[in-house]
Chains A and B, each alone.
Chain A
């Protein structure tokens, strides 16, 4: 795993000291709130409805047991015993006190963690496929490149005051699990005919109030050009991106308003100027960083485990878990296991301090001390022996994170919504909970198959509703919560933005509406293999619209 070098350690501890002093000056009245707010935001500290909120970075979603235990400790000591994993692979604490935050940041620094680049108009933490370094379909581990980008972007003086926030995501596999096409820059690792590694580059994807799928600007960017090309994109954005209107300031608007061809030409021109300069990535440097992410020693084993097969025969919950929560590993005899942070009727992404401690223990015992957080708000052990699955499952059951629902209809993404968020127009979590209860029966979920529901509590789209197979956006109408439903969104390699089906639904009606959509799909699918999304793409919106609103 990546370890801080001396530079990083100094940088983080300096930043913690700085913030401690800023908090002291704020409390002493030397800084006004207007002066202090940008400083606290740079350190991940927001003010929400009930309290402050601290967003802690988990770069590319990778952490170890010691770090997870520290998060548990923070939840227990400074918060109310829980944290919330987010769609950006971060964790948020909902109740920290301002006076405690310098201490919390110190504690985080002890385990090489921080809250830098979780907020503000800078290049945010780079996100990556949560199965990175383990997935059977992977061309290469994307995290070394994510780390190279992090080192380049951390406190990059030229890019600390961008027109708006800037998000980069990277996947190492052709099956995109990192939603790269809805990021400002999306990178997909690829090999050219000579077998060399490079990237397909997308620019200008994003969600929020103007959702857009990223446009491809390069079919193959050689590895050595990663930073120079990224810098060229950022420079063009920094120069031409709009600063007059924050709703039009993301790079997606620039792509849209300037036109792809012209922007591409601008990027290429800038790239040609700096291409052979200091940003050219030497091969040794990439290999050096790669070594930090070297996989643990894994012994090749049997691809089928007798212990697993036997247990499946007699234990339906275990069989369901095995059917849905495993991802194929590149080493035979191993698998990547998803711990569902979506218990039926529970709060998507919430983890208690006890659960975090349990995850840390399990990672150390069964998972070579590696943990991942997914943008789908689940926790993953990337390297688990098949043989260990029965024992691991028993422990997950005790910890309450054993639901076999990964990728199913109850594996819902939901933003904090109006239960916490100062910007919300409606609640999202309770809607997720009610849908989960409605469809929670194991057979029913399994029969429905892959179906991604994503819920946001306002137009900012932190819950990715635009790319949900069924997306739900909470709005306010005449003082009441009101939910708009979109269909056909997707965040994978065939990304698409969902379309609004028709008028929205009240809080009481929205779960019934989802059920009608699901029943329509079940009635019309060509067979069990045809997923909801495939059926929607084949059938179009008409039958779904009719189910919701009657014949036109």
Chain B
């Protein structure tokens, strides 16, 4: 299973492709793609968003879904989804606490 990820052009924030072409700030809200064709469609949506100055550096990444919770497979993506492990007060992990 895959999700599509990118960084927002304006501020560099890590985002994932959500429903209806939106880019969401939490991986738990990301739209999950299964199968080559679905992923290709997701990437095409991403490319479009890149052309529209919304995001940069679009790519697909592996996730698992357990009890409806989307989690990245690779450590790199786990760190992107939470923030620097050395700075628990920064990045998405901080927003998760304050939200």
Residues of chain A at the chain B interface (Cβ within 8 Å)? 26-29, 32-33, 47-52, 80, 95-99, 347, 418-420, 424, 426-427, 429-430, 433, 476, 479-481
In the assembled complex, how far is the CB of residue A476 from the closest CB belonging to chain B, in whole angstroms?
Answer: 8
A419 touching B11, Cβ below 8 Å: no
Stretch at the interface among B16-24, B31-39, B77-85: B77-85
A-side contacts of B9, CB under 8 Å: 26-27, 33, 98
- Confirm or deny: B86 has a beta carbon within 8 angstroms of a beta carbon on chain A: yes
B85 touching A51, Cβ below 8 Å: no
In the complex the two chains form, what is the Cα distance from A98 to B9 in whole Å?
Answer: 7
B90 touching A95, Cβ below 8 Å: yes
- Confirm or deny: B73 has a beta carbon within 8 angstroms of a beta carbon on chain A: yes
The 7 closest A-B pairs by CB, nearest first: A51-B12, A419-B84, A52-B12, A97-B11, A429-B86, A29-B53, A33-B56
In the assembled complex, how far is the CB of residue B95 from the closest CB belonging to chain A, in whole angstroms?
Answer: 12
B53 touching A347, Cβ below 8 Å: no
B-side contacts of A427, CB under 8 Å: 79, 85-86
16 inter-chain pairs at a CB distance below 8 angstroms, sorted by A residue, are A29-B52, A47-B7, A47-B57, A49-B76, A50-B13, A50-B83, A50-B91, A51-B11, A51-B12, A80-B90, A95-B12, A96-B12, A98-B12, A427-B85, A433-B86, A479-B73
Choose from A26, A429, A479, A480 the contact partner of B53 (Cβ within 8 Å). Answer: A26
- Confirm or deny: B50 has a beta carbon within 8 angstroms of a beta carbon on chain A: yes
A29-B52, A29-B53 known; A419-B12 Cβ under 8 A:
no
A424 touching B86, Cβ below 8 Å: no
A347 touching B86, Cβ below 8 Å: yes
In the complex the two chains form, what is the Cα distance from A418 to B84 in whole Å?
Answer: 8
Q: Which residues, 47 to 99 on B, are CB-close (under 8 Å) to A?
A: 50-53, 56-57, 73-76, 79-80, 83-87, 90-91
A479 touching B14, Cβ below 8 Å: no
In the assembled complex, how far is the CB of residue A257 from the closest CB belonging to chain B, in whole angstroms?
Answer: 34
In the assembled complex, how far is the CB of residue B71 from the closest CB belonging to chain A, in whole angstroms?
Answer: 13
Name the prevailing secondary structure of the B interface residues: loop
B7 touching A51, Cβ below 8 Å: yes
B51 touching A97, Cβ below 8 Å: no
Beta-carbon nearest neighbor of A48 in chain B? B12
Count residues of chain B with CB under 8 A from any CB of chain A: 26
Residues of chain B at the chain A interface (Cβ within 8 Å)? 7, 9-14, 50-53, 56-57, 73-76, 79-80, 83-87, 90-91
B86 touching A51, Cβ below 8 Å: no
A47-B7, A49-B80 known; A418-B12 Cβ under 8 A:
no
Choose from B10, B50, B87 the contact partner of A98 (Cβ within 8 Å). Answer: B10
B85 touching A99, Cβ below 8 Å: no
In the assembled complex, how far is the CB of residue B58 from the closest CB belonging to chain A, in whole angstroms?
Answer: 10
In the complex the two chains form, what is the Cα distance from A95 to B56 in whole Å?
Answer: 16
Beta-carbon nearest neighbor of A29 in chain B? B53
Beta-carbon nearest neighbor of A426 in chain B? B75
New contact pairs (4) apart from A29-B52, A33-B57, A433-B86, CB-CB < 8 Å:
A33-B9, A418-B75, A427-B85, A427-B86
B7 touching A419, Cβ below 8 Å: no
B7 touching A27, Cβ below 8 Å: no
B10 touching A50, Cβ below 8 Å: no
In the assembled complex, how far is the CB of residue B93 from the closest CB belonging to chain A, in whole angstroms?
Answer: 11
A47 touching B12, Cβ below 8 Å: yes
Choose among B9, B11, B83, B86 the residue with the greatest number of A CB atoms under 10 Å from its CB.
Answer: B86
Beta-carbon nearest neighbor of A28 in chain B? B53
B73 touching A418, Cβ below 8 Å: no
A430 touching B85, Cβ below 8 Å: yes
Beta-carbon nearest neighbor of B57 in chain A? A47
B-side contacts of A29, CB under 8 Å: 52-53
In the complex the two chains form, what is the Cα distance from A479 to B87 in whole Å?
Answer: 22
In the assembled complex, how far is the CB of residue B8 from the closest CB belonging to chain A, in whole angstroms?
Answer: 9
Choose among B7, B12, B56, B85 the residue with the greatest number of A CB atoms under 10 Å from its CB.
Answer: B12
In the complex the two chains form, what is the Cα distance from A430 to B86 in whole Å?
Answer: 7
A-side contacts of B50, CB under 8 Å: 33
Beta-carbon nearest neighbor of A97 in chain B? B11
